[in-house]
Structures are given as C-alpha cells and as structure tokens.
Structure 1
C-alpha cells in the first residue's frame, strides 16, 4: 500500500472501520450505509469484506454505479423511493451507519431499524436528533456515536485493508496546490478523497 493510499485510511478508514465493528452486526446481517462520499465509499468496502449484506442509501442516481462497484448489494435512491419502506421489505436493518449531518434525513431512516438494531453516527451535526423513547425501548434499539480509534486500532484497520483489498478512491495534488485541492473538495467534485503529496504529480486513482 502506498503512502497516498494509507493516508485516508488513517482518518476516514479508521472511523468507518471502527463504526462497523461497533455496530453490533454479524456476518450475513443487513447493514445500511447512509451517505456515499469520502467516508461512505470506504464503509461500503469494509462492510462488504466483513460479510454483511450491504445496502447503500444516497440521493440521486449518479452515485448508484459507484455504490454497487464499491460493495453495496443494493442501492436505494432516497430521492425516488421510500427508503424506509424498501429496507423494511428487505427485513429491516441490523445497523445503520450514517456519515451525513442532515438530522432530518437520519431521523427519517431510523424507521428502518430492525428490533435490537443500532444507529451509528459519524456525522457531527449541530442539531438534536429527534427520536421517540418508545421506539427505542419497544424494539430495544440503540444509538451511538463513533469518531476514530487508537494507534493500535489504526494498525488493525490498515492490516485489514491490506488483507481484504480495501483502498480509498482518491485524487493526489502537490502540496503547493493545496488551495486548489480544498476548493475542489468543497465544491463536491473531488473523487471521494483529496491527498496532498510532496511531488509534482497529480492524478485520480480508481
């Protein structure tokens, strides 16, 4: 693994790797990844390699092909169909790992959690998450936050990535062009992750 590939795994990689480990899901369980971007594209790969039944939930058909290629068994475009109804028809989610900060979208998807299901939050939104205590109690559902890991867990995430062939999709840009990289990231045009290098080369990696 190159240094450029390892760099995102020490941030987005460890975050999603640990979130999935904390999700309570076991091999064969359905795990939903909400938000297919810099974090989500790694979560899809890890979830598939961990043996979960992976469902990606996003907005728009333009991301569908990428989501399926990255490891999702099913892609649900929440702009076109009722994601909760579709997930319930599939048996309900053992875990939902969400990368987004849109509280309303997160709350709306919670209805797809199966009994004893778990919502794992990675997006650091500022607004409170509206949830019925009865909904949590009756189905013994739970919510937890996850952010990163220890140096030892970083090693485990890297080892698993090498073993399972998980790699970030990224664009490299020389350090001198850092402002350009930041602008591309903020515009939403980046190929999932931007990595600054000490060389003059710049390109995207599939």
Structure 2
C-alpha cells in the first residue's frame, strides 16, 4: 500500500481531523488543569486502563502485574498504585522498564531475558495480571503469573485472537478471566480529575500530523516510550 493511501486510510479510521461534531450527551468536558496534550492520551489509554483496574476489583496491598509498559501500561501502573497495589511491570524494552521504575513500579521484569511468569511466581505471584501486549504468548504468561484466586484482565487484542487456558489450573486455583474495553464518560471524568489533581503523569511525544506514517513505524519498532500525540 502506498504511503498516501495509508495516510488516507488511517485518517478515515482514526478521525485525524482538526474538528468533529458529537452529541453533547456523549462528550466529557476537559477540566482546566488538563492540557490538550495530556487529554488526548487520557481519553484513550487513560480511560481504558482506569476501567481495567476497576474491573480487576483490586484491594489495597494486592500485587498487580502490568504486562507491557507503553501508552497503556504506563498509565495502568499508575492507576494500580493509586488503588493501593504493589506493581510489577513487565516489558521487553529496558527503556520502558526504566520508565516504569520512575513511575513507581515496585519490580520490573524484562520478558526478553527471563520467563516473567516464573519470575513473578518467585515474588509470590500476582493477584491481578493486566494483559496489555498484543501477543497471545504474553497473555499466557500473564495467566501463569497469577497466584491462587488471581484475576486475569484481558485488554489487548492479539492478532491470533485466542489464548490457551489450562482447565486444572483455572479450576483448582480459582482463577478468573475477564475482559475490559475502554470505559464510560464517568470513568473519563474520573481520569481527568485524577490528572488535574496531579495524581498521574502522561508520557507523550508531540508530532505533526504529516509525520503519521513515520510515527506508526516508530511505534511498531518500539522506539516510542509511551504515546504519540499529533498537533494540527
């Protein structure tokens, strides 16, 4: 596909436009304490991971493993910490694990160098595993990282579209597997309120809309710490 066709297709799918019209009932005001640069990722990655942490029914002092520390994961680990959890961050890039440490992760694991499920079990296992990597293998690792009574929250959408669940482990350990998709307008209002209060940090690089194809290549190549926001 030509670059021009790719750009046209992405604009059609992702609404890369300066303005849009939406019913007021389905719009959430951005408070004064949230910049446009931060509001864009919060309206996607923020509300998605905030909802995932809510779906996990997390209790204070539980252990949460966040699989993939990117645009979604760097916010997921912050919401888990706000909920009072101890956080284990898993990724295959050292610079993303360094970001996770800076944002307050208690442990970091490079899945390219060791089996994260085994490493997490050595730490006592996770009460919750949030699967944010578009990889079926990562979903399986997240499942096996759980301790008895653990909850796997599925967020990412791997290309293969399936994961294998060992029935004996699921039944005997009382594991729960659930899906979580985006969030509500009330969830987004909470996300904005937390950010305006200084409870979260958005890591994003601002680029021009004309750089969309190069930006996608950088995301796929793992060269972007978290999110990219396009300025019009």
- Please confirm whether the aligned pair reaches a TM-score higher than 0.5, indicating the same fold: yes
Residues in 1 aligned to 2:144 and 2:218: alpha-carbon distance in whole angstroms = 35
What's the TM-score, normalizing by structure 2?
0.79
The partner residue of 1:120 within 127, 147, 153 is 153
SS in 2 for 1:4: helix
SS in 2 for 1:144: strand
Residues in 1 aligned to 2:147 and 2:50: alpha-carbon distance in whole angstroms = 22
SS in 2 for 1:167: coil
SS in 2 for 1:165: coil
The partner residue of 2:84 within 35, 45, 51 is 51
Give a deviation string over 1:87-112, Cα, whole Å, max 9, x none. Answer: 22222111000111211232133222
Map 1:85-124; keep pairs closer than 5 Å: 85-124=118-157
- Judge which range, 93-102 or 169-178, deviates more: 169-178
1:60 Cα deviation from its structure 2 partner: 4.0
Q: CA RMSD in A?
A: 1.8
Contact 2:204 2:229 (8 Å CA) reproduced: yes
Residue 135 of structure 1: aligned partner: 169
Structure 2 alignment gaps of length 5 or more: 1-33
SS in 1 for 2:223: coil
- Judge which range, 178-187 or 22-31, deviates more: 178-187
Residue 174 of structure 1: aligned partner: 208
Contact 1:33 1:43 (8 Å CA) reproduced: yes
Residue 193 of structure 1: aligned partner: 227
Structure 1 alignment gaps of length 5 or more: 199-206
Contact 1:49 1:164 (8 Å CA) reproduced: no
- Judge which range, 104-113 or 136-145, deviates more: 104-113
1:176 Cα deviation from its structure 2 partner: 4.2
2:183 is aligned with 1:149: yes
